[in-house]
């Protein structure tokens, strides 16, 4: 019987070593050491041996079982490694082939600038206020201290719906509405669409403007310069200087126009700045006491500054867009550049 | 650190209730972390007299007592052996709540008991549980026990910040409160009666480490009687969480709590060579401590030693070999100070935290040692008797002069922005114990008391001024303007971003419009969008109104791009539309419109691309509405005249149309010279914003039990709408189905005309249990039955 057992172990060895699938290996496992296996049948035959031979044979049987178990375990490791290498083979790809993408869209460059401006001002305690595009003459002109005979009121300058209903020419109207409806202090920006009756290469009948207004006790011209400085640096970068020049607006006194160093030549002089080295950015000033008094605000106690900037122009300067018409043509090839 | 209200009240007439004091302390910078009402349980217990006792007929160990609580006689069953006629007892009537235990009427072996007679252990007064508490004969019947015993008190657990070691004792806290609350401070004054025998004849002192032991004082009292402390002392210690031990030890603890300065008492007879040596430990020197652990020391530890051995681990713990026992007669009182960083290191390494190490680690003062020693000796003489030897041993290697710090009222204003007059500043700081020296131009000079080592600079004094003025008495000026509607502001951005992520490019058109566009769009005569906001002086006919719709402009943008060779168009615009009828100005509403055509995904070599269809647009719409928090809406057939019949849907919410979507009718597209399929959507943002749906997301519990997935396939007539079918499934599944996903639809092959096959994946989940197969099968059966009954649907 010992001889027989030896033969079984030998045949098990050759069989086990030659299988390459896990399924077949498991079949061999049950054939040799499972419940109804060959080894088990030897176990049952122990009883037929003389008593004194039984322990020795039992021991031999155990050793055989351990040997076969070890063979199976070794082969299992081999098969696993084989399978792993197969996976590596079958899943290998050309890493240079293109990846799967989703369609990519874009925000309009004006919206991008719009958001950036909102974020800069909101980070400094301003809130964003809104108002109607279709306005009355009072909020667009009268409340802003514009003389009755001011040329801006002409049909040739402003779009009208009725005699005293018009499309706002600036978002200063929102300042008036906010001061009418909220108590001081007020610290807002009002971005939005504005309209003027002109249409040529450098003027669009609809354009986008943002106005800032800060009214409180102790707001000064210094605060205005401070704010403009910070804004220009945050918007265009630390290299960009600004300056202000005396000017006239009906609703501010003192009034000023704002220039920044040319974003293209940094002051050297180029075609963008027409050789001056500076670009005009917008208007600014201290809110005229008349404007405050008309709203019932004590102009002795409260002071404020206001400034307005063209967002379309800022977008053009920031992204070096050469022609204003590109902004409203909505060519997808243009728009997608700003994703 | 624990502080008792009654104890504080000894030094300062508080005039505030315990609750009020809690806030005063917290806002003065001594944060109260917990508050405990001592004696609250005991307050419910009444003093009563046992007027009659009888044996319980059914239980040997129980006694039936008749108890007089001052109002009536009640029967109480008692199991205590010491229950006798006539004794005064602590009686808890029915309804009394002691900790978690509520006294109820009970039947004990057939006899009813109305309440309970309590032991000291049950009441938390002591560990004595041998029998019920017996009160003195003169205890007044009916009085509550807390008042009788005088243990009503409030204990505060306060956080002392590391810069204020002066607050580590109750006197320090009282001093600070007296300044904060503007109340006078009454501190105990100690007088010592010394005998004529000089201490030097009995003990000598050698400080070998003057840089580590910055002060060491010792006094000797002979012939003390070690015994239990008097009641008042025990109560006082218990009120701050300290365990009474014996009179001398209790007094050292009491003085530590008072002055914030730990003391230690040695048994004089156990000091070898009658000499105290302060030295560094030897490496691996063994020290048997009071906590019955023998510690192995390192050479940087400071020990108090006699000629032979260490008798205390300086500042941390006393020695087992020299402490006070009932046999002690002569004692040495140590009051010392050690370098805080050294104590912190030793205590930290050995993981010992004692009331002593807690204080020494926090840089207490050398000067206070002397005061604490005198106070302790006074109390010991008074309570434990004995004679105090003349003088003290004192090693005080480097006493420091008091520092002088100046403060500028102008600087106070600069930091605070409000003005505090010089007079007020002087008042505040002198109340804290600072000594006002002189005033010159914008400058006040103060001598800092030894116990405020933290005040070294002007800014430290300014902090004290602001603290005493009250942090919350400093005004605020800024106001929240609340002008912008933040949820709407950000929702708008989110919607834009969602579309950009879907591959849309944003366009911006002029707001001028052409009235003829509405004709091309088949907009009916009576449609409100024909109430044009018309310009008097337009740039031309095609710019003569303010747009009342965005889609015509978008179609023109699409054409422009198709003409420039673009095949896949995806554009949106988010702008106001305008109408004007009777209103003075115009009605301006924010709309969002978009146009799509071409392929949904960019060309990809692995899969075939698909042309955009209705369901793509619907998916986008659903995403937009999620961003806008529209949760309840229905899709119905749209009445808009510009969608291809059957392929236009209106989105309804709250019975209002909030959006529409669909395929642009090719007949209309062709009017704009476009001959490829175009899909469009239009959202009335103004209407959605008006629904006020924005709210912060509230966290929901994540299900503890894993979900179970089951698929079902049905064949059903095309007449039945998907939305109705899933409604039926949902209803039949009650609350067990958390999600229904349609993952296959087909008709044709093996399916009869007018029918189609739908396959759903149902997600079952529960918050309360793991769902068993049996449970789910049962629900599935109900779902299938409901589908059969409602739609005659067949399972596949």
Q: What is the pTM of this model?
A: 0.78
Kindly list the residues from chain A whose CB atom is less than 8 angstroms away from the CB atom of residue B560: 329-331
CA A225/CA A209 separation, integer angstroms? 19
CA B608/CA B687 separation, integer angstroms? 39
Eight-class DSSP state of B200: G
CA B764/CA B771 separation, integer angstroms? 8
Query: Quick one: pLDDT at residue B127?
Result: 66
How far off is chain B from A198, nearest CA to CA, in Å?
A: 8
Kindly list the residues from chain B whose CB atom is less than 8 angstroms away from the CB atom of residue A104: 500, 503
The answer on B99 and B73 residing in a single domain is yes
How far off is chain B from A166, nearest CA to CA, in Å?
A: 8
CA B395/CA A259 separation, integer angstroms? 76
Cβ separation A133–B576 shorter than 8 A:
yes
**Phi then psi dihedrals of residue B533, to 5 deg:** -90, 100
Q: Which of B444, B470, B496 is the last residue of a domain?
A: B470
Residue B301 has pLDDT above 80, yes or no: yes
Query: Quick one: pLDDT at residue B147?
Result: 82
Query: What are the structure tokens assigned to B329, written together?
Result: 């007669």
The answer on B236 and B126 residing in a single domain is no
Query: Quick one: pLDDT at residue B401?
Result: 92
Beta bridge partners of B75: B66
pLDDT tens per residue across span B385-404: 999 999 999 999 999 999 99
Q: Kind and range of the H or E element at B412?
A: helix B409-416
Residue B479 lies in a domain: no
Strands annotated E in B677-754: 679-684, 708-717, 737-746
Cβ separation A165–B506 shorter than 8 A:
no
Q: Strand B134-135 vs strand B2-4: parallel, antiparallel, or unpaired?
A: unpaired
pLDDT tens per residue across span B637-651: 999 999 999 999 999
Residues B742-747: contacts with CB within 8 Å, 24+ apart?
B743/B711, B744/B713, B747/B718
> Residue B385 is part of a domain; what is its CATH number?
3.50.40.10
Q: Kind and range of the H or E element at B465?
A: helix B458-469
Nearest to B574 by CA among B683, B689, B498: B683
Burial of B409 (0-12, 13-18, 19+ CB in 10 A): buried
Q: What is the mean pLDDT of chain A?
A: 91
Q: Which of A185, A188, A336 sits opposite B505 (nearest CB)?
A: A336
> Residue B563 is part of a domain; what is its CATH number?
3.30.930.10
Binned at pLDDT 50, 70 and 90, residue B129 comes out as: confident
Cβ separation A339–B500 shorter than 8 A:
yes
Residue that has been written with the tokens 């609250």 in this structure = B40
CA B617/CA B605 separation, integer angstroms? 24
The answer on B712 and B673 residing in a single domain is no
Q: H helices of B164-262, where?
A: 170-181, 231-239, 247-259
Q: Which of A115, A134, A206 sits opposite B588 (nearest CB)?
A: A134
Cβ separation B576–A331 shorter than 8 A:
no
Q: Which of B496, B508, B568 sits opposite A328 (nearest CB)?
A: B508
Query: Quick one: pLDDT at residue B79?
Result: 86
Cβ separation B571–A331 shorter than 8 A:
no
Helix (H, G, I), strand (E, B) or coil at B282: coil
The answer on B717 and B645 residing in a single domain is no
What are the CA-CA distances from residue B592 to residues B624, B654, B658 (Å)? 10, 20, 11
Residue B696 lies in a domain: no
Cβ separation A102–B534 shorter than 8 A:
no
Kindly list the residues from chain B whose CB atom is less than 8 angstroms away from the CB atom of residue A115: 493
Q: Which of A111, A127, A328 sits opposite B506 (nearest CB)?
A: A111
CB contact at 8 A, B244 and B12: no
Q: H helices of B532-683, where?
A: 551-563, 614-627, 666-671
Most B CBs within 10 Å, among A104, A134, A153, to test the B interface: A134
Query: Quick one: pLDDT at residue B43?
Result: 84
Q: Which of B482, B509, B512 sits opposite A330 (nearest CB)?
A: B509
- The complex scores an ipTM of 0.87
Residue B505 lies in a domain: yes
Cβ separation A134–B604 shorter than 8 A:
no
Residue that has been written with the tokens 């912008």 in this structure = B484
Cβ separation A197–B561 shorter than 8 A:
no
Report B:138-167 residues touching A (Cβ under 8 A).
none
Nearest to B764 by CA among B735, B732, B744: B735
How far off is chain A from B732, nearest CA to CA, in Å?
A: 39
pLDDT tens per residue across span B216-263: 999 999 999 999 999 899 989 988 988 899 999 999 999 999 999 999
pLDDT tens per residue across span B424-478: 999 999 999 999 999 999 999 999 999 999 999 999 999 999 999 999 988 888 7
CA B668/CA B671 separation, integer angstroms? 5
How far off is chain A from B654, nearest CA to CA, in Å?
A: 27
Helix (H, G, I), strand (E, B) or coil at B606: coil
Query: What are the structure tokens assigned to B252, written together?
Result: 């050292």
Q: Which of B340, B375, B395 is the last residue of a domain?
A: B395
Structural domain total, chain B: 6
Kindly list the residues from chain A whose CB atom is less than 8 angstroms away from the CB atom of residue B482: 127
Residue scoring higher pLDDT (A149 or B279): B279
Task: Write a three-state SS string for chain A.
Answer: CHHHHHHHHHHHHHHHHHCCCHHHHHHHHHHHHCCCCHHHHHHHHHHHCCHHHHHHHHHHHHHHHHHHHHHHHHHHHHHHHHHHHHHHHHHCCCCCCCCCCCCCCECCHHHHHHHHHHHHHHHCCCEECCCCCEEEHHHHCHHHCCCCCCHHHCCCCCCECCCCEEECCCCHHHHHHHHHHCCCCEEEEEEEEEECCCCECCECCEEEEEEEEEEECCCCHHHHHHHHHHHHHHHHCCCCCEEEEEEEECCEEEEEEEEEECCCCCCCCCCCCCCCCEEEEEEEEEECHHHHHHCCCCCCCCEEEEEEEEHHHHHHHHHCCCCCCHHHHCCHHHHHHHC
Eight-class DSSP state of B543: G
Quickly count: other Cβ atoms within 10 Å of residue B43's Cβ: 15
Query: Quick one: pLDDT at residue B425?
Result: 96
Kindly list the residues from chain B whose CB atom is less than 8 angstroms away from the CB atom of residue A187: 481
Binned at pLDDT 50, 70 and 90, residue B613 comes out as: very high
Q: Which of A186, A204, A331 sits opposite B564 (nearest CB)?
A: A331
The answer on B627 and B673 residing in a single domain is yes
- Mean pLDDT over B573-586 rounds to 95
Query: What are the structure tokens assigned to A53, written together?
Result: 């031979």
- Alpha-carbon dihedral sign for residues B682, B685, B687, B692: positive
Size of interface A-B (CB pairs under 8 A): 147
Kindly list the residues from chain B whose CB atom is less than 8 angstroms away from the CB atom of residue A182: 481, 483
- Residue B791's domain spans which residues? 708-795
CA B452/CA B464 separation, integer angstroms? 11
Query: What are the structure tokens assigned to B272, written together?
Result: 């070898």
In this structure, CATH architecture of domain A109-338? 2-Layer Sandwich (3.30)
Beta bridge partners of B155: B4, B36
How far off is chain A from B500, nearest CA to CA, in Å?
A: 4
Measured CA angle at A176 (ends A174, A178), to 5 deg: 65
> Residue B441 is part of a domain; what is its CATH number?
3.30.56.10
How far off is chain B from A164, nearest CA to CA, in Å?
A: 9
Report B:606-625 residues touching A (Cβ under 8 A).
606
CA B599/CA B570 separation, integer angstroms? 10
The answer on B230 and B215 residing in a single domain is yes
Q: Which of A132, A187, A206 sits opposite B585 (nearest CB)?
A: A132
pLDDT tens per residue across span A289-318: 999 999 999 999 999 999 999 999 999 999
Kindly list the residues from chain B whose CB atom is less than 8 angstroms away from the CB atom of residue A161: 533-536, 580, 586
Residues contacting A110, CB < 8 A, separation 6+? A208, A311, A312, A315, A327, B508
How far off is chain B from A229, nearest CA to CA, in Å?
A: 23
Q: Which of A100, A197, A330 sits opposite B571 (nearest CB)?
A: A330
CA B789/CA A72 separation, integer angstroms? 58
Query: What are the structure tokens assigned to B314, written together?
Result: 């300086």
Report B:489-508 residues touching A (Cβ under 8 A).
489, 493, 496, 499-508
**A121-125, A151-155, B782-786: the lowest-pLDDT one:** A151-155
> B634 in contact with A at a CB cutoff of 8 Å?
no
Most B CBs within 10 Å, among A112, A155, A161, A315, to test the B interface: A161
The answer on B562 and B459 residing in a single domain is no
Residue B480 lies in a domain: no
Query: What are the structure tokens assigned to B45, written together?
Result: 């217990």
How far off is chain B from A191, nearest CA to CA, in Å?
A: 12
How far off is chain A from B729, nearest CA to CA, in Å?
A: 34
The answer on B68 and B20 residing in a single domain is no
pLDDT tens per residue across span B521-576: 999 999 999 999 999 999 999 999 999 999 999 999 999 999 999 989 999 999 99
pLDDT tens per residue across span B111-127: 889 989 888 878 777 66
The answer on B30 and B48 residing in a single domain is no
Binned at pLDDT 50, 70 and 90, residue A137 comes out as: very high
Q: Which of A165, A182, A186 sits opposite B585 (nearest CB)?
A: A165
> B571 in contact with A at a CB cutoff of 8 Å?
yes
CB contact at 8 A, B90 and B117: yes
Q: Which of B503, B510, B546 sits opposite A103 (nearest CB)?
A: B503
The answer on B313 and B296 residing in a single domain is yes
Residue B606 has pLDDT above 90, yes or no: no
Q: Which of B501, B510, B560 sits opposite A105 (nearest CB)?
A: B501
pLDDT tens per residue across span A161-187: 999 999 999 999 999 999 999 999 999
How far off is chain A from B638, nearest CA to CA, in Å?
A: 28
- Residue-level length of chain B: 796
CB contact at 8 A, B133 and B89: yes
Most B CBs within 10 Å, among A99, A100, A102, A103, to test the B interface: A103
Please give the radius of gyration of chain B, using alpha carbons only, rounded to the nearest integer.
44
Residue B658 has pLDDT above 70, yes or no: yes
Closest chain B CA to residue A132: B588
Q: Which of B395, B421, B443 is the last residue of a domain?
A: B395
- Mean pLDDT over B729-750 rounds to 88
The answer on B786 and B736 residing in a single domain is yes
Residue that has been written with the tokens 């959507």 in this structure = B681
């Amino acid at each position: 019987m010992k001889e027989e057992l030896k033969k079984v172990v030998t045949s098990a060895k050759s069989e086990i070593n030659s299988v390459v699938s896990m399924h077949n290996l498991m079949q061999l496992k049950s054939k040799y050491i499972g419940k109804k296996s060959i080894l088990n049948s030897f176990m049952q035959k122990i009883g037929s041996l003389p008593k004194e031979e039984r322990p020795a044979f039992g021991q031999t049987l155990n050793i055989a079982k351990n040997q076969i178990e070890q063979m199976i375990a070794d082969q299992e490791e081999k098969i696993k490694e084989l399978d792993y290498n197969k996976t590596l083979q079958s899943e290998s790809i050309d890493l240079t082939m293109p990846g799967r993408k989703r369609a990519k869209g874009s925000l309009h460059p004006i919206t991008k600038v719009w958001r950036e401006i909102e974020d800069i001002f909101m980070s400094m305690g301003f809130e964003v206020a809104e108002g109607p595009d279709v306005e009355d003459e009072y909020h667009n002109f009268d409340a802003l201290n514009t003389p009755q005979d001011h040329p801006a009121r002409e049909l040739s300058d402003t779009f009208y719906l009725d005699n005293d209903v018009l499309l706002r020419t600036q978002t200063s109207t929102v300042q008036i509405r906010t001061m009418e409806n909220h108590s001081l202090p007020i610290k807002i920006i009002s971005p939005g669409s504005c309209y003027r009756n002109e249409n040529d290469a450098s003027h669009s009948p609809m354009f986008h403007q943002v106005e800032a207004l800060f009214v409180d006790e102790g707001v000064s011209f210094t605060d205005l310069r401070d704010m403009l400085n910070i804004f220009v640096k945050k918007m265009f970068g630390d290299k960009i200087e600004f300056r202000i020049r005396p000017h006239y607006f009906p609703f501010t006194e003192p009034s000023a126009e704002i220039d920044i160093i040319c974003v293209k030549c940094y002051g050297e002089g180029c075609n963008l700045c027409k050789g001056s080295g500076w670009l005009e950015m917008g208007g600014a000033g201290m809110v005229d006491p008349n404007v405050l008094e008309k709203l019932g605000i004590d102009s002795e106690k409260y002071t404020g500054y206001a400034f307005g900037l063209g967002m379309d122009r800022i977008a053009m300067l920031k992204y070096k867009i050469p022609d204003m018409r590109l902004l409203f043509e909505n060519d997808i090839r243009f728009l997608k550049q700003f994703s | 650190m624990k502080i008792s209200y009654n104890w504080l009240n000894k030094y300062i007439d508080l005039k505030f209730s315990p609750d009020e004091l809690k806030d005063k302390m917290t806002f003065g910078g001594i944060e109260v972390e917990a508050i405990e009402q001592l004696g609250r349980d005991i307050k419910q217990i009444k003093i009563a007299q046992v007027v009659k006792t009888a044996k319980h007929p059914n239980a040997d160990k129980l006694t039936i007592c008749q108890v007089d609580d001052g109002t009536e006689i009640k029967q109480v069953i008692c199991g205590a052996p010491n229950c006798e006629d006539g004794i005064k007892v602590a009686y808890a009537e029915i309804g009394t709540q002691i900790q978690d235990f509520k006294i109820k009427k009970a039947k004990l072996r057939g006899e009813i008991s109305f309440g309970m007679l309590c032991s000291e252990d049950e009441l938390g007064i002591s560990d004595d549980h041998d029998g019920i508490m017996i009160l003195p004969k003169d205890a007044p019947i009916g009085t509550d026990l807390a008042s009788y015993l005088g243990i009503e008190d409030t204990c505060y657990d306060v956080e002392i910040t590391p810069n204020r070691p002066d607050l580590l004792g109750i006197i320090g806290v009282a001093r600070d409160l007296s300044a904060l609350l503007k109340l006078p401070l009454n501190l105990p004054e100690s007088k010592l009666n010394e005998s004529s025998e000089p201490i030097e004849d009995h003990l000598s002192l050698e400080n070998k480490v003057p840089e580590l032991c910055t002060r060491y004082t010792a006094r000797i009292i002979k012939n003390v009687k070690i015994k239990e402390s008097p009641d008042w002392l025990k109560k006082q210690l218990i009120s701050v969480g300290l365990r009474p031990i014996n009179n001398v030890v209790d007094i050292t603890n009491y003085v530590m709590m008072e002055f914030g300065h730990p003391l230690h008492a040695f048994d004089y007879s156990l000091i070898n060579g009658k000499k105290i040596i302060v030295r560094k430990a030897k490496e691996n020197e063994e020290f048997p401590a009071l906590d019955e652990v023998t510690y192995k020391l390192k050479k940087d530890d400071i020990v108090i030693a006699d000629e032979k051995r260490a008798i205390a681990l300086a500042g941390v713990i006393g020695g087992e070999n020299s402490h006070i026992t009932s046999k002690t007669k002569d004692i040495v009182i140590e009051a010392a100070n050690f370098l805080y960083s050294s104590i912190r290191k030793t205590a930290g390494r050995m993981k010992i935290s004692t009331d002593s190490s807690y204080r020494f680690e926090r840089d207490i003062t050398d000067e206070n040692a002397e005061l604490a020693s005198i106070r302790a000796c006074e109390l010991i003489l008074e309570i434990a008797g004995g004679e105090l030897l003349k003088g003290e041993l004192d090693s005080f290697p480097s006493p420091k002069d008091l520092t002088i710090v100046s403060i500028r009222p102008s600087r106070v204003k600069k930091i605070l922005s409000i003005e505090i007059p010089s007079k007020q500043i002087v008042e505040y700081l002198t109340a804290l114990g600072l000594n006002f020296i002189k005033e010159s131009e914008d400058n006040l000079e103060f001598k800092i008391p030894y116990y405020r080592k933290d005040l070294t600079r002007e800014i430290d004094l300014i902090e004290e001024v602001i603290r005493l003025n009250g942090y919350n008495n400093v005004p605020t000026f800024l106001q929240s303007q609340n002008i912008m509607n933040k949820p709407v502001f950000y929702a708008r951005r989110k919607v834009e971003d969602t579309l950009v992520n879907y591959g849309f490019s944003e366009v911006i058109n002029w707001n001028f419009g052409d009235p003829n566009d509405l004709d091309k769009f088949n907009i009916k005569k009576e449609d409100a969008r024909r109430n044009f906001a018309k310009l008097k002086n337009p740039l031309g006919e095609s710019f003569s109104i303010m747009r009342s719709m965005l889609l015509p402009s978008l179609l023109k943008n699409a054409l422009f791009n198709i003409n420039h060779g673009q095949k896949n168009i995806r554009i949106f615009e988010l702008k106001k539309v305008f109408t004007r009828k009777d209103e003075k100005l115009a009605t301006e509403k924010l709309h969002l419109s978009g146009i799509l055509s071409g392929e949904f995904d960019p060309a990809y070599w692995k899969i075939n691309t698909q042309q955009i269809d209705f369901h793509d647009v619907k998916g986008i719409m659903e995403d937009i509405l999620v961003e806008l928090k529209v949760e309840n809406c229905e899709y119905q057939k749209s009445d808009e005249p510009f969608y291809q019949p059957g392929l236009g849907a209106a989105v309804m919410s709250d019975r209002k149309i909030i959006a529409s979507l669909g395929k642009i009718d090719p007949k209309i597209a062709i009017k704009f010279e476009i001959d490829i399929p175009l899909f469009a959507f239009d959202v009335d943002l103004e209407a959605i914003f008006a629904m006020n749906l924005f709210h912060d997301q509230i966290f929901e519990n994540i299900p503890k039990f894993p979900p179970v997935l089951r698929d079902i396939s049905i064949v059903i007539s095309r007449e039945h709408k998907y939305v109705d079918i899933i409604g039926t499934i949902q209803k039949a599944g009650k609350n067990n189905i958390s999600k229904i996903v349609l993952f296959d639809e087909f008709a044709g092959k093996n399916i009869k005309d007018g029918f189609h096959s739908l396959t759903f994946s149902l997600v079952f989940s529960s918050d309360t249990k793991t769902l068993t197969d049996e449970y789910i099968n049962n629900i599935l059966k109900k779902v299938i039955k409901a589908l059969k009954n409602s739609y005659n649907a067949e399972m596949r």
